[in-house]
Structure 1
Amino acid sequence: MLSSPQSQNIALTPGNLRRVHHIALNVQDMQASRHFYGAILGLHELTGEEVPATLRSLVTDGKVTNFVTPDGTVLDLFWEPELSPPDENPHRAFTRANHLAFDIDPQLFDRAVEVLKQNQVQIDHGPVSRPTGRGIYFYDPDGFLVEIRCDPE
């Protein structure tokens, strides 16, 4: 259960989370999704050297496709061919989202981890270190997966 930051006076302050770093969605049909986000919505698909080096093999294998929104937010599509179909009623809770990632200054990453732990936020996994930086994955009150991540120092 998430504790109230006011009761413990432990919280990240406004401005610590700098921006949405990326949005990751699981998709059942990669070609249809690429068409939708690229051709229909007009998002720029990252290709060649634009693709982050850490994702190039997954992109080459057709397992991931990356788009960028006009504000610079990256949309990662992860191919999950065995994904269950969405609910026929689009007003019900969505089933295809993977996680929402917030970017934080590397100097504040450990503080963010401590804030999550002290507030008894349910951690899925992490902190993890990768060539792309550090991250921790946790759940919001509704069970949606969220990440706080930072670039390598």
Structure 2
Amino acid sequence: MISSSPVTTALPLGYLRRVHHFAINVKEMQRSRHFYGKILGLYELTGAEVPETLKAEVAAGKVANFRTPDDTILDLFWEPDLSPPNADPKQQFTRANHLAFDIAPQFFDQAVEVLQQNQILIDHGPVSRPTGRGIYFYDPDGFLIEIRCNAE
């Protein structure tokens, strides 16, 4: 959670370039793949298009990746025991897993420092993967956010 003390540092406007991907939890993967791919017409990533870090999960049917028209990636994470907080689907609740922002690799360490200096609760990371680096942390309401960059 965010500290109540005043912010001493901040990332300059424009450092976060775009939403990199949005990940949501789904109860029934095939139904969700049909909805996002066939009904909404999003392009499903396959084969070499699937990020290396997710290939095993995609092959096991635990993750599916779609590309939106603006090139934002939508990741579906299979959570078979997922139940809505309310049986009425019109009641607000979220299936979101986390929101990820892309940052240039040269600014990644500065972003980590900003989070630490502002005493932001870190979930995990920084982590390094073949595809880049990331850090996961919480917003004031406890929603998981990621800042990530491509490998240099």
Report if TM-score (shorter chain) is over 0.5: yes
Greater than 3 Å deviation, 4+ residue runs: none
The amino acid of 2:120's aligned partner reads V
Q: Which residue of 2 aligns with 1:114?
A: 113
SS in 2 for 1:110: helix
Structure 1 residue 44 corresponds to structure 2 residue 43: yes
Q: What is the CA distance between 1:91 and its match in structure 2? A: 3.6
Q: Which residue of 1 aligns with 2:64?
A: 65
Whether the 8 Å CA contact 2:101–2:147 is kept in 1: the answer is yes
Q: TM (normalized to structure 1)?
A: 0.91
**Inter-partner Cα distance in structure 2 for 1:53 and 1:2:** 33
Q: How many residues align?
A: 151
The amino acid of 1:23's aligned partner reads F
Unaligned runs of 5+ in 2: none
Q: Which residue of 2 aligns with 1:17?
A: 16
Identity fraction in percent: 70
The amino acid of 2:90's aligned partner reads P
Q: Which residue of 2 aligns with 1:78?
A: 77
Whether the 8 Å CA contact 1:4–1:119 is kept in 2: the answer is no
SS in 2 for 1:18: strand
Q: TM (normalized to structure 2)?
A: 0.92
**Inter-partner Cα distance in structure 2 for 1:130 and 1:86:** 34
SS in 2 for 1:57: helix
**Inter-partner Cα distance in structure 2 for 1:92 and 1:110:** 36
CA RMSD of aligned residues (A): 1.7
Whether the 8 Å CA contact 1:26–1:80 is kept in 2: the answer is yes
